[in-house]
Structures are given as C-alpha cells and as structure tokens.
Amino acid sequence: MDLRVDLMREWKEGESIVALAEIYQVSRKTIYKWIERYEAEGVAGLADRSRAPHHHPQTLSAATIEQITAARQRWKWGPRKLRVKLGELQPEVTWPAESTIGEVLKRAGLSRRRRPRQRTPPYEAPFAAITMANQTWCADFKGWFRTADRVRCDPLTISDAHSRYLLCCQIVARADTRHVEALFDATFCEYGLPDVIRTDNGPPFASCAPGGLSRLSLRWVKLGIRPERIQPASPQQNGRHERIHLTLKQETLQPPASTPRRQQEVFSRFQQIYNSERPHEALGNLPPAKLYQASPRRMPRRVPELEYAPDLVVRRIANKGELKWKGERTFISEVFAHELVALRPLDERYYELLFGPIRLGWFDAYRHRFHRQWNRRLAKAWGAAQPT
C-alpha cells in the first residue's frame, strides 16, 4: 500500500507511466487502473479488493434448494436416487449434479459424513508352496444353514491342502474366538501342528488390527504357525477347500437333518467316508487317508511366548494395547494386549514393529507415532523403496 501511494505521488510530480512501470515492476495497465481508482476514491481506492465474482450463474435458486430438501425429508434417499426421482417428477428442470445435491443436504443438516469402515489389512506375502502334508491347512465356515427344527448351524471345516484330508467338520455353538479356538486346539492335539493355516479375512480368523491378526491368529503365531489370508472376494484362492464344501453340501444338506445333533452325526459319517473310502480324482483316485500322515510337530501343553533375536528391542504391549517407549505410550491395538512385540531399528528414529515373523508396521521414536502402512514421511526418510 505504501508503494502504491509513493507511485501516485511520483506520477503527480510528472513521472512518466513507462518509467514508473519499470521502477515498480508492474505493467502500465495496472498503473492506469490505480490512477483511475485514485482519482475516483483517493488513497482508499489503492487498497486490495476482493477477486470474488460479482455474479454466480450456477447458483441454485431458493426454489430448487427447497425442492431438494423436501424430497430428502419425504424419501430419506441419497443424492443419486433423489436426482433420478426429481428428474422423473419434473423432467423439464435441469437438476444439479449429485455432488451439488449432496452439498445442499449437508448445509441443511439432512446428511452426515459416513464414518469410514475399517477393513482388514491386505495380505501381501506370497502363499507357501504345497508339496507335502501339513505344510498348509485350509479353514473356513461352510455357510450357515438351519436344521428342520429351525436351529442355526455354523459348521467349521479344516482340511490339509496337499492330501485334501478333512481334519475337522464340526458345528460350533458360536462362531467366535473361544469356540473356534477350542476346535483348533482339539485338531492340533489329534493331528499335530501345520506350518501355515490359510483362511479368509473374516472373524475370528482375522481382524482390522495391524497385520490383520486376531486373538486366534496370534495364538497360531505363538505356536509357530503362519496365518495366510486370501484376498477379499477371492474364494478361488482357497479353491481346494471350497471344493470340499461343495461335496459336503451335496451329500449332507439335501435336505438338512432334523436337529443339530443329527446333522453332526451326518457330518461325522461324511468325514469318515470322504477321508477313507471316497476316491479323489486329483489324488489319482486315491482316498485322502492314503496320502495323509499326522504332523511330527506336536501341540505343546502350554502356548509358549515368542522368542526374538538378541539384536531386537522387545516390549510387552499394555492391557489397553499401548506400546511404552521412553515414558510415552503409543496405541497399537487391543488385540496385542499383554503380548511381546519386537522393534527392529532402521535408523535412530524409525523402527520396524514385529509380532514374531509378521510385520505390523513402523514406529516413529521421535514423534511416538505408529504407522501401519508405508507413507510419504517414511518414504522421504528411506527413499522411495520400502525396506524389506
């Protein structure tokens, strides 16, 4: 503002416009604009003015806004459906875009921002090779159904991916961690421990916690079993197990039995016939029992604590899921409460957070922040590539 006043003073003293434009590094057109405002309004005309347009041709009329809000109050629909409905009722009117209708509803207090849904982190490691029995077990719930007495049944199935041996086909009282864990422990005691268990991304096998781990899969890791998860909506990645489900449905659920107890008896007979008598084409028409042998890794009496290399920093997660570091607490997840985790130093600031062999994310020791995913800040510190 002071420079503009000085420019006007020099112009009044007779300085040329060309010279003033060169001295003050502005265009001659701008100087003429300031002179015009100065002559009309004085020094006040040299102040900055708003660059907002005086007219908004796309502004919605009050009548249009009223019609949109009235339609929302009547049908309770979202912007997309409201736009279609309004177009049907008044096709001669050019209705605004869905995003504009959404803004109208938001300003009127008729909508709210949807809370983002937490999803299970994707499983990125390649699947383990399957060349012998007990390398990979597959587990899933065969879709629930009702017996003739209208009782809901949720059968849990576990199979060996190499031999197709059906290790478990049991109806669970509830599809939660406690009941499913008991069935897995019984299967481990009978057949030993596998190297890998492959499941989908649903509970109780997985959760939204870092690494996609749940209380059940935490227990597997402590037993030396690596959890594998198929990609969402990709049952073909667990195709061998899904094929067992098809045979199970065809031979035991058409129709279902009268009660859950009777249905379990049917499942048990099917399991015995499927394993020992039924030829399997993928196995050269041999039954799965001809190829399956129990695992030499036996189920221990107590689930052991994880052991880490001496070069790692070991911490126990607090009961509220917090990692304590130099007097500060950083929330990780309540799933890991009371569990041992390890921090592998990348440099003085960043640490890789591990639960056994599974990477949970990265810990910023300076800001006491936990990053589940590789982000820009980490990439800037470590280059574009994510450390392996």
> For residue range 65-103, what is the model confidence (pLDDT) as tens digits?
999 999 999 988 889 899 999 999 999 988 999 999 999
pTM for this prediction: 0.71
Residues 141 and 286 in one domain: yes
Rounded to an integer, the average pLDDT of 4-32 is 89
Answer yes or no: is pLDDT of 25 > 70: yes
Q: Which of 17-26, 28-37, 291-300, 367-376 has the highest mean pLDDT?
A: 291-300
Residues 178 and 286 in one domain: yes
Domain CATH for 161: 3.30.420.10
Q: Is residue 157 part of a domain?
A: yes
Question: What's the one-letter identity of residue 245?
Answer: H
**Per-residue confidence at 375, pLDDT binned at 50, 70, 90?**
low
Q: Is residue 131 part of a domain?
A: no
Residues 246 and 162 in one domain: yes
Residues 152 and 281 in one domain: yes
- Which helix (H) or strand (E) segment is 105 a member of? helix 98-107
What is d(CA 378, CA 311) in angstroms, rounded to the nearest whole number? 22
For residue 354, how many other CB atoms are within 10 A of its CB? 20
Q: Is residue 120 part of a domain?
A: no
Give the domain range for residue 250. Answer: 136-290
Residues 31 and 100 in one domain: no
Structure tokens at 170: 């049991």
**Per-residue confidence at 388, pLDDT binned at 50, 70, 90?**
low
Residues 42 and 69 in one domain: no
At residue 115, the pLDDT reads: 76
Answer yes or no: is pLDDT of 219 > 90: yes
Residues 169 and 237 in one domain: yes
Rounded to an integer, the average pLDDT of 47-66 is 84
At residue 158, the pLDDT reads: 96
Residues 142 and 207 in one domain: yes
Number of domains, the chain? 4
Residues 42 and 66 in one domain: no
Residues 286 and 145 in one domain: yes
Q: Is residue 298 part of a domain?
A: no
Which carries the bigger pLDDT value, residue 3 or residue 378? 3
At residue 116, the pLDDT reads: 73
Residues 226 and 278 in one domain: yes
Rounded to an integer, the average pLDDT of 273-280 is 92
What is d(CA 187, CA 192) in angstroms, rounded to the nearest whole number? 7
What is d(CA 249, CA 243) in angstroms, rounded to the nearest whole number? 10
At residue 379, the pLDDT reads: 64
Answer yes or no: is pLDDT of 387 > 60: no
Q: Is residue 303 part of a domain?
A: no
Rounded to an integer, the average pLDDT of 136-145 is 94
Using the 3D structure, point to which of 255, 290, 325 is the last residue of a domain: 290
Answer yes or no: is pLDDT of 123 > 70: yes
Q: Is residue 299 part of a domain?
A: no
Determine what percent of the chain is predicted with pLDDT higher than 70: 96
Q: Is residue 114 part of a domain?
A: no
Provide CB contacts within 8 A for 263, sequence distance 6+.
147, 153, 171, 252, 256, 257
**Per-residue confidence at 386, pLDDT binned at 50, 70, 90?**
low
**Per-residue confidence at 383, pLDDT binned at 50, 70, 90?**
low
Burial of 228 (0-12, 13-18, 19+ CB in 10 A): buried
Q: Is residue 366 part of a domain?
A: yes
At residue 233, the pLDDT reads: 83
What length does the chain have? 388
Q: Please say whether the beta carbons of 262 and 253 come within 8 A.
A: no
Minimum mean pLDDT among 125-129, 183-187, 188-192, 315-319: which range? 125-129
Residues 247 and 339 in one domain: no
Which carries the bigger pLDDT value, residue 149 or residue 2? 149
Answer yes or no: is pLDDT of 350 > 60: yes
